[in-house]
Amino acid sequence: MHHPKAATIKDVANYAKVSISTVSNVLNNTKTVSKPLYDRVLEAVKVLDYQTNPIAKGLKSKVTNTISIIIPSISSVFFPQILSTIHVEASKMGYTVSIFETREILQREKDCINLLESKWTDGIILSSCVDVENPSSKEYIQKLNAINIPIVCIEAAISDKLDAVIMNNQEAIYTATNYLISLGKKNIAYIAAPTRFYMGKHRKEGYLAALSDSGLPIREEYIIEGDYTPKSGHMCMQRLLARMIPIDAVVVGNDQMAVGAIRCIKDAKLNIPEDIAVIGFNNNFPSSLITPSLSTMRVPKEEMGAIAFDLLLNRIKNPDSPIKLVKLNSELIIRESTDPNGDSSWDLNW
């Protein structure tokens, strides 16, 4: 309905007085065409302002030049940066990118996959929210493995049959926790990102390992689980304080929750970091803006997006290449929430 007068390949052929296959051939460089015809076609294309119809093309060639990104949240402080890099890389290569938001609801993720299966996208970048513990997720993952669309996972390597780019979650939280221990902290609480998911699980393991390796006791009452949001971080911290256990530091599964936790601690009139030190994970820009600024583990978001697209492109072009798992390293950033002399400058790049 929208394009009543758009020129078709037929129009071009008529105008140039050649066959439509010749037009197709010059446009796609698929066969050599004599100079005169070639020129006439190009002329016709120009005159008629012809653009090949990707829908029709896709119907034949099964190529849509579209990739799809499935993420938990479009408006979080984390994904937009990844999205942006992916978009830049993708458009360079002529791909359009479609977005899908799951809000951490597995059913929505499945719906997206189903939709995409029929929509003929050329590839999918997936930040999955499958529950790693739940045996019923096996079936879903099998399906993902068997699907005929290239898929690259980010944030969570949910299958060894799928390319993925992830963080060194466990090692990073281990580093963070160890750093707190090196500061002399002994009663270190942990506000976890949802541990039924891949990422939260591995991060928590890092915390536990660090305590163990330092001979510190693991106490259940020091561990609580949030839902990624600042608000939940605030609530978790409140609960932790209400338990009336000695706490001199908190490791938090992500920066968002850590910000909430810091606010809670401030409101309780406790000093950061003297009474309670706080460290997060991600290094989102707001973490540098608050007072005290938040120590955290850096996550190379741009790199993550770029690599994810690279992996995807490679798999599209080369479906049988070996599966790749890229694990990115994070790095400790010391700010005021663990060190009074820590960096208090604002990240102004946003």
Partner DNA sequence: CTGAAAGCGCTAACAG
Partner DNA sequence: CTGTTAGCGCTTTCAG
- Residues contributing to the site for a second copy (CB under 8 A): 1-6, 51-56, 58-59, 62-64, 66, 73-77, 80-81, 83-84, 87-88, 91, 96-101, 114-115, 117-120, 122, 148-150, 229-231, 233-234, 256, 259-260, 263, 285-286, 289-291, 319, 346, 348-350
AA identity, residue 204: K
Query: CB of residue 84 vs a second copy: minimum separation in angstroms?
Result: 4
DSSP run (H or E) holding 191:
strand 188-192
Query: CB of residue 181 vs a second copy: minimum separation in angstroms?
Result: 29
Give 90 or 211: the residue with its C-beta nearer to a second copy.
90
The one of a second copy, DNA, none whose footprint includes residue 64, by CB under 5 to 8 A per kind, is a second copy
Between CA 191 and CA 207 the distance in angstroms is 10
Are 58 and 115 within 8 A, CB to CB?
Answer: no
Name which position in 14, 42, 48, 53 contacts DNA (CB under 7 A).
Answer: 53
Q: Considering the rule CB under 7 A, would residue 56 count as an interface residue with DNA? A: yes
Q: Considering the rule CB under 7 A, would residue 114 count as an interface residue with DNA? A: no
Which sign does the torsion angle of CA 215, 221, 225, 231 carry? negative
Between CA 294 and CA 281 the distance in angstroms is 9
Give 263 or 298: the residue with its C-beta nearer to a second copy.
263
DSSP run (H or E) holding 181:
helix 169-182
Give 25 or 178: the residue with its C-beta nearer to DNA.
25
CA 102 to chain centre: 12
Give 133 or 267: the residue with its C-beta nearer to a second copy.
267
Between CA 228 and CA 239 the distance in angstroms is 16
Name which position in 2, 60, 269, 317 contacts DNA (CB under 7 A).
Answer: 60
Q: At what angle do helices 106-119 and 137-146 cross, to 10 degrees?
A: 20
The one of DNA, a second copy, none whose footprint includes residue 114, by CB under 5 to 8 A per kind, is a second copy
The one of DNA, a second copy, none whose footprint includes residue 8, by CB under 5 to 8 A per kind, is DNA
Are 94 and 65 within 8 A, CB to CB?
Answer: yes
| Secondary structure of residue 151 in the 3-state scheme | strand
| Secondary structure of residue 301 in the 3-state scheme | helix
Q: Considering the rule CB under 7 A, would residue 270 count as an interface residue with DNA? A: no
User: Which residues would be at the binding site for DNA (CB under 7 A)?
Assistant: 3, 6, 8-10, 17-22, 24-25, 27-28, 30-34, 36-38, 50, 52-53, 56-57, 59-61
